[in-house]
Chains A and B, each alone.
Chain A
Amino acid sequence: GEDVEQSLFLSVREGDSSVINCTYTDSSSTYLYWYKQEPGAGLQLLTYIFSNMDMKQDQRLTVLLNKKDKHLSLRIADTQTGDSAIYFCAENQQAGTALIFGKGTTLSVSS
């Protein structure tokens, strides 16, 4: 079945880069997403990438996709304390279908 795996914790210092990794098993995954959840809040869509792309950059965020290894990463440049949150990797095979989520990576940023 479909599975999405993430490491559970990442701790960085303010100003450093953070890299959150995700692996997925479904080779037919077409869309891959990163969501951010701050404590007690909902899920905020950060960015997404389609399977025909290798990289996407959006301000401080860089998404890299290695389809061969089924590996997705999210790099946050110049990490700030406000970036502390849980980051979820998610995938689906086509638009309008359910998202399959990883268990989330808790990013802790210290000043």
Chain B
Amino acid sequence: DTAVSQTPKYLVTQMGNDKSIKCEQNLGHDTMYWYKQDSKKFLKIMFSYNNKELIINETVPNRFSPKSPDKAHLNLHINSLELGDSAVYFCASSLGGGRDTQYFGPGTRLTVL
């Protein structure tokens, strides 16, 4: 009965590879997000989707492309991975509209070698 789930939990890969991280929420929320947490634990928004439409797209390299096949899923695809992409990536969701709060997934720790 996990609310926001992410797969995989750990991802270790070589520089230059392409990888995807999946996120699913079963809360019936309309809005989903991707955040990046760097090695100093600093959290920053990357993307946000509302009902499958992109609403926030921060200054993120074009190598990162979010995809939302339906409002319960928001996947993150990363092309040509670089060492600096190593981080923990968190997916979150919120109800959207009115007063809502964001619930986070367990995170995916990406290590690029």
Shortest distance from the beta carbon of B57 to any chain A beta carbon, whole Å? 11
Q: Is the CB of A96 within 8 A of B41?
A: no
Interface members, chain A 32-48 (any B CB < 8 Å)? 33, 35, 37, 41-45, 48
The answer to whether the Cβ of B64 comes within 8 Å of any Cβ in the partner chain is no
Q: A45-B101, A88-B43, A103-B40 are in contact. Are A95 and B94 (CB under 8 A)?
A: yes
CB < 8 Å neighbour of B42 from A48, A50, A97, A101? A101
**A residues less than 8 Å from B56 (CB atoms):** 97-98
- Binary B-proximity of A77-111 (CB < 8 A = 1, otherwise 0): 00000000010101000011111010110000000
B20 at the interface (CB under 8 A from A): no
With both beta carbons as reference points, the residue of chain B lying nearest to A100 in the complex is identified as B45
How many angstroms from the CA of A41 to the CA of B94 in the assembled complex?
20
Pairwise interchain contact A42-B101, C-beta atoms closer than 8 A: no
Assembly CA distance A42 to B31 (angstroms): 19
**Contact A86/B41 with A42-B90, A95-B99 known, Cβ cut-off 8 Å:** yes
Contact (Cβ within 8 A) B104 A43? yes
Cα-based distance from A110 to B90 in the complex (angstroms): 30
Which residues of chain B come closer than 8 Å to A42, judged between CB atoms? 90, 104-107
Q: Which residues of B contact A96 (CB under 8 A)?
A: 30-31, 48, 50, 55, 94, 96-97, 100
- Bound complex: CA of A22 vs CA of B102, how far in Å? 19
- Select B43's contact among A48, A50, A101, beta carbons within 8 Å: A101
CA–CA, A107 and B13, complex, Å: 33
Residues on the B chain within 8 Å of A41, using CB: 106-107
* Given A95-B97, A96-B55, 13 new contacts (CB under 8 A): A33-B101, A41-B107, A42-B104, A42-B107, A45-B101, A95-B95, A95-B98, A96-B50, A96-B96, A98-B56, A99-B43, A99-B45, A101-B43
Q: Name 8 interchain pairs, CB-CB below 8 A, sorted by A.
A: A31-B99, A33-B101, A42-B105, A43-B43, A44-B104, A95-B97, A97-B48, A98-B33
Q: Which residues of B contact A (CB under 8 A)?
A: 30-31, 33, 35, 40-45, 48, 50, 55-56, 58, 90, 92, 94-107
